[in-house]
């Protein structure tokens, strides 16, 4: 997936030493007000809404290829550009950008571990100057391998080789909190709230690899299976998709639209 020597997960310290290496594009998906106040030096701002498509009540859908071409061209992306993404919420929005890049066929990307909070709290330099990307031409080479559709999930509900991982809150999983016409979870899905992968004592950096592997294995999520992650829109679960890729899981799929798609269908099977 990542054909450079840059790791998938970049610590703030590693980014500090590599900020000037090669064609690097630092993308900040924080709230606009946060970006204006402070950001990693050289980072350009990207609005999360630009990389998702909404067809209410379904949200968090994949943009059409033409939209991705428009957005990535505006950022001057080339196949050689290494994208480092971060945000101010622990990595959900940033990971959704990386997921979208993977679907667009882009192979060079990393997540800043802990994002803006970890960077700033570790004492690294911050910048207030607004940076504008230099536009170019980027044509996505679409790769739908990372995508699970509603039909794919329906076709694999009884497939023991496929595990569904629901990373919403416990209340959403149990159907006590509902953000769609119907509440509950996809039959057979196991539950792990997405922020459980983060270390709150270390500015939302990821927990150590052995800890993450153990948390997942306890739920039957192992590297020999195809793992489908979902949340309400595939924002939170994009972070989990990244975590699994980082841990070396080869077969990981995200479900764009997630519960806003499944829970708003009248006939999809549901468990509570």
Q: What is the tens place of the pLDDT at every residue in 97-148? A: 999 999 999 999 999 999 999 999 999 999 999 999 999 999 999 999 999 9
Mean pLDDT of the chain: 96
Q: How far apart are CA 68 and CA 167, in angstroms?
A: 26
Given a cut of 90, is residue 155 above it in pLDDT?
Answer: yes
Average pLDDT over residues 235-245: 98
> What is the percent of the chain with per-residue pLDDT over 70, rounded to a whole number?
99
pTM listed for this prediction: 0.97
Q: Is 231 a catalytic residue?
A: yes
Nearest-angstrom CA–CA distance, 251 and 224 = 8
Residue 152 CB: number of other CB atoms within 10 A?
15
Predicted pLDDT at 2: 42
Sign of CA dihedral 99, 100, 104, 108: negative
Report d(CA 231, CA 240) in Å as an integer.
10
Determine the average pLDDT of the residues in 225-241. 98
Percentages (nearest 5) of helix, strand, coil residues in the chain: 30, 20, 50
pLDDT of residue 148: 98
Q: What are the pLDDT digits (tens) for 29-44?
A: 999 999 999 999 999 9
* pLDDT tens digits, one per residue of 162-207: 999 999 999 999 999 999 999 999 999 999 999 999 999 999 999 9
Percent of the residues in the chain that have a pLDDT greater than 90, as a whole number: 96
d(C-alpha 21, C-alpha 125), whole Å? 17
Give the CATH number of domain 9-121: 3.40.250.10
Average pLDDT over residues 49-58: 98
Residue 144 · residue 103 · CB < 8 Å: yes
| Selected catalytic residue, list 43, 118, 228, 231 | 231
pLDDT at 198 (0 to 100): 98
**CATH T-level assignment (fold) for domain 150-262:** Oxidized Rhodanese; domain 1 (3.40.250)
Domain ranges within the chain, ordered by starting residue: 9-121, 150-262
Check if 9-121 and 150-262 are the same fold: yes
Distance of CA 114 to the CA centre of its chain: 13
**pLDDT, tens digit, 9 for 90 and up, residues 85-96:** 999 999 999 999
How far apart CA 263 and CA 100 sit, in angstroms, is 23
Average pLDDT over residues 59-83: 97
């Amino acid at each position: 997936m990542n054909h450079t020597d840059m790791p998938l997960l970049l610590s703030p310290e590693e980014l500090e030493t590599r900020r000037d290496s090669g064609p690097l594009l630092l993308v900040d998906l924080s709230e606009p007000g946060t970006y204006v106040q402070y950001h990693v030096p050289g980072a350009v701002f990207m609005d999360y809404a630009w990389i998702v498509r909404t067809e209410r009540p379904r949200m968090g859908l994949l943009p059409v290829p033409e939209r991705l071409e428009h957005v990535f061209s505006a950022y001057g992306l080339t196949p050689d550009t290494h994208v480092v993404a971060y945000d101010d919420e622990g990595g959900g929005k940033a990971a959704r950008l990386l997921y979208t890049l993977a679907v667009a066929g882009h192979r060079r990307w990393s997540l800043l571990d802990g994002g803006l909070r970890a960077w700033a709290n570790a004492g690294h330099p911050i910048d207030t100057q607004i940076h504008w990307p230099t536009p170019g031409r980027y044509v996505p080479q679409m790769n739908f391998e990372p995508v699970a559709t509603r039909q794919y999930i329906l076709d694999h509900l009884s497939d023991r080789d496929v595990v569904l991982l629901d990373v919403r809150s416990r209340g959403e999983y149990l159907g006590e909190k509902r953000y769609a016409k119907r509440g509950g979870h996809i039959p057979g899905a196991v539950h792990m709230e997405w922020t459980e992968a983060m270390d709150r004592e270390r500015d939302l950096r990821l927990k150590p690899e052995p800890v993450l592997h153990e948390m997942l294995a306890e739920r039957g999520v192992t590297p020999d299976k195809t793992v489908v992650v979902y949340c309400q829109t595939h924002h939170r679960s994009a972070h989990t998709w990244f975590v699994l890729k980082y841990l070396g899981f080869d077969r990981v799929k995200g479900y764009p639209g997630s519960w806003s798609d499944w829970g708003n269908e009248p006939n999809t099977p549901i468990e509570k």
